[in-house]
Structure 1
Amino acid sequence: MQIRTRLTIQFTLLVSVIVLLAFTAIYYFRKYNLEEQFYYRLRQKALSTVELLVNQNEVNSETLKLIDQSNRDLLYKENVILYTYRNDIYHLSNDTINFNLDRNILNQIRLNKELKIEKGEYKIYGLYYTNEGERMVSVAGAVDVADQISMRALLRILVYAYISSILLVAVVGWFFAGRALVPISTVINEVQRIYPQNLSKRVNTQNEKDEIGRLTFTFNALLDRVEQAFRLQNMFISNVSHELKNPLTKIISQLEVTLLRERSSEEYRNTIASVLADSRDLSQLSNTLLELAKVSDQNQPFLTAPVRMDEIVWDARDLLRTTHETYTIKVEFPADIEDETILTLNGNAYLLKVAVINLMENGCKFSVDHIVNVAVQPSESELKLIFNNRSNIAEEEIGLIFQPFYRSQKSVRTSGYGIGLSLVDRIIKLHNGTIEVHSQNGNVQFVVSLPQEKSNFQ
């Protein structure tokens, strides 16, 4: 069901209930008012009749009947009856009508002084009159035909008005619901014109303070992220293609040159060794890309366990020194550690070791003396790893070094693929940590902060 139809139905139902309650109240209040007016007229007839007969000596029952016959205010099937204290009929205005009131009803009238009675089609009003020793029960009754006709006419009018109002409300609701949804239709049309080829296009925001404005603002923010993702994907594909092309081209060139003529065993061994080195570079690149893809997948579950960071640092140093004998890694721990549990945090040992190795290797590789100083600073809330080396990073490049395959102009002559720091950044974020870079006075510092709380693993 469309929103416009749903809004129209909801609005129509709401208004129909309100109108129904209002019309019902009008009907019953009008009915109550007419009944009160009718009983008031009966009371006046009962009171005036008993006062005339009791207080006026020259007026008797026959005279009062003649007066009633000439009265134009007669009600349908009207009758006024006066009863003595012995329940005998003292006066009867209409001999053809008898209400058949028994002794109990007359006693209730004497007890309550005044009483409203409905008996069959008749509405009856009885009152107890006393004056100078006279004790009379005066009862006036009639059929309320005029008010019944009036109420039936009012009911027809209310029914017709209710049906007409509901139809009118439905039409008006459909119209205004359509007008209210015009901005949404505009947004839909603009979104449908956005394709991967024109991701820079944005939805126009007419009013940022209303719900539609906030929706378009949110959608534009989503488009920003999608555009950035597409841009990073294209850059990633381009960089991967370039990084794969270089060693493959080198391997093919060496093999083609070697096949041009017969060569000595020493030359063949040299060619095979060079091709093997290039193949290992390709293998390392593939493994690094797989690790980067793994840590980039938010739905990929990782096993976590308590990890001793001092052991991670020592193992990383030993592994790096076995492959790079010229690198020097100096590790420093606080001398006053009493509780070794502050060196333990919840995480993935393999990924943390990969991050530490990359930071150590990066520090040694770009340092002028191939030395990196690693300081471990634990506390109750977090554990910091600080990597210092003698090098320099331009201020404008600090925000770019964590992007995949980014390499500065100074590092183009250094072996590598520009993936290591991007991998480190995602591993640290996966552990709910942060990484900061500071470069000044020929010294570069990487500060990794890892919280002691639970990591962001599934």
Structure 2
Amino acid sequence: MKIKTRLSLYFTLISCGALLFVLLGVYIAFYTFSKDDFTNRLSDRIKVASKLYLEADEISKDSLVQVQQQYLEKLPDEVIRVYDESNRSAFNATNGIYWKDDIIKQVRKEGQIEYEEGKRQVLGKYYKDNQGNFVIMASAIDRNFSNRTIRLGKIAAVFFVIFSTALFFAGQWLAKNTLQPIQKVVGQMRQVQSSNLHLRIQSNKNKDEIAELISNFNSLLERLQNAFELQQSFVSNASHELRTPLTSILGEVDVALDKQRTVEEYERVLRSVSTDAMHLQDTITSLMELAQVDFNYTQALLSPLRIDELLWELQEHWLIKKGQGLVNVSFSNFPEDENELIIQGNKPLLHIAFNNIIDNAFKYSAGAPVGIRFDSSHNHVRITVTDTGPGIKPSDSELIFKSFYRADHTSEVPGTGVGLYIASKIIQLCNGTIQVVSDGVLGSSFVIGFAKTV
């Protein structure tokens, strides 16, 4: 069953249940009111009888009937009896309706009783008078009561059926209009395939659950797109980077085995094979590191961390690795509130990113010191890693962050071209930015920025 139909049914059932409850309340109220109203009419007749008979001392039956007909509407099969202390009726009954002594005694005891005897409704009251104590009994048949209640029940049933039908169609309309944004989202979702994961669902203007669903689905698409791209990148890079050194090794071995060589020639071949093997080892290590970072990238959770503590840890690590005086960390515009040093990030991954950038700076600085500068602004923190290498050409500024890319003048520097790519992906994951500033002649600066959480 579709959600639209289920919602309309739930709406109809709840509304009909409330309507049925109201109708039952009205029916019960009408039933009670009719009974009480008929009892009040009997009570009026008893009051008239008490006034005329008891206060006027004596009154004939005909006189009592005439007064009742003049001032009160006659009830169907109306009967009024006045009993003295001996339980004798003051009037002769032409219709033969009397009440037993037990009933009269009960009236004397309780003061008033009310009950039904078949279709007849009976009311009895006890009066004290100077001539004695009397019991007045009145009864009649409410012949219109059944007709009124049956008619009311039929009207309520018809109204309930008509209103329930109207509620169902109103529920259908309401569910359709309520779920219309979801239908649009579903229609856009159907267009997303493995070949076009770059598509995103258009968010609506309302800040409701549907907008939250769209946001989460777009985040899922982004992670899926990243996973597909990482998989494709890994396969293509691995096949390309592994094939080159293997081809070189096989070529050198084939040439060496083609004929007898001198010891010097064999040594040259072995050195060449060793160089290619070391390059192959570095490539495999880089690929494994890339795969690990890519895997963590798709699953990484961000949490608050102090960026200054991370920089102190990096300085201590590289001082141990390179020696004193080769890593210079400086701070400018240091905030007074330590909470302004907190960013959202993944500390293990950021360690990898900054280590790759610093390691890259040392490779091209030829033993010269590397500078790390921290700067804080109103909403951002900025970390700048500066080297004294040959610089980066403007044409290479964007390409160096691609996997396995190496500029033309860097062939003599060991590396695989993966470090900066990994660093850029991690910084992007932590909602940061990275850019390179260089004149292409002397020195380069990698500027990394993060938004403050406070």
Which one-letter code corresponds to 1:149 in the other structure? N
What is the deviation of 1:120?
Answer: 3.5
Give a deviation string over 1:81-106, Cα, whole Å, max 9, x none.
11335654323665422333232322
Q: Distance in 2 between matches of 1:257 and 1:329?
A: 48
**2:89: which partner in 1?**
89
Which residue of the partner structure matches residue 361 of structure 1?
Answer: 359
Percent identity of the aligned residues?
26
Displacement, 1:203? 3.6
SS at match of 2:91: strand
Contact 2:372 2:385 (C-alpha < 8 Å) held by counterparts: yes
User: Which AA in structure 2 matches 1:103?
Assistant: K
**Residue in structure 2 matching 1:106, options 96, 104, 108:** 108
Residues 358-437 of structure 1 correspond to what in structure 2 (within 5 A)? Answer: 358-359=356-357, 361-367=359-365, 369-373=366-370, 388-391=386-389, 392=391, 404-407=403-406, 411=410, 414-423=413-422
- The one-letter code matched in structure 1 to 2:108 is L
Inter-partner Cα distance in structure 1 for 2:139 and 2:80: 6
Instruction: Give the CA deviation at 1:30.
Output: 0.7
**Aligned equivalents of 1:386 and 1:202: distance in 2?**
34
User: In the alignment, does 2:164 pair up with 1:166?
Assistant: yes
* 1:117 pairs with 2:93: no
1:81/1:140 contact within 8 Å kept: yes
Aligned partner of residue 417 in structure 1, secondary structure: coil
Relative to the length of structure 1, the TM-score reads: 0.70
- The reply on whether 1:3 has 2:3 as its aligned counterpart is yes
Q: Deviations over 1:392-432 (max 9, x none)?
A: 457997787565435456646643212224556788999x9
- What number of residue pairs does the alignment pair up? 410
Structure 2 equivalent of residue 273 of structure 1: 271
Q: 1:149 aligns with which of 143, 147, 150?
A: 147
User: Aligned residue for 2:321?
Assistant: 316
Offset of 1:287 from its aligned partner? 1.7
Change (3 A) 1:254 1:428: same
Counterpart CA distance in 1 for 2:273 and 2:320 is 30
Shift, 1:283, TM fit = 1.1
The answer to whether the 8 Å contact 1:129/1:136 transfers is: yes
1:37 and 2:23 correspond: no
Distance (Å, rounded) in 1 between the aligned partners of 2:215 and 2:166: 36
CA contact (8 A) 1:78 1:141 kept: yes
1:201-259 per-residue CA deviation (whole Å, 9 max, x = no partner) reads: 44455655554455345434543444344344434433333322332333344344445
Cα distance in 2 for residues equivalent to 1:401 and 1:440 = 13
* SS of the residue 1:81 aligns to: strand
What is the deviation of 1:55?
A: 5.7
Counterpart among 217, 220, 243 of residue 219 in structure 1: 217
> How many angstroms does 1:56 deviate by?
5.9
Corresponding residue of 2:187? 189
User: 3-state SS of the aligned residue for 1:297?
Assistant: helix
Give the alignment of 1:21-100 within 5 angstroms.
21-54=21-54, 59-64=59-64, 73-84=73-84, 87-91=87-91, 95-100=95-100
CA 1:93 to 1:370, structure 2 compared with 1: closer, same or farther past 3 Å? Answer: farther
- What do the CA deviations read for 1:110-151 (whole angstroms, capped 9, x no partner)? xxxxx4511443433344557886764433122333213321
Name 2:307's counterpart in structure 1. Answer: none
Letter in 2 for 1:223: L
Matched residue, 2:18: 18
Moved more, 22-31 or 6-15: 6-15
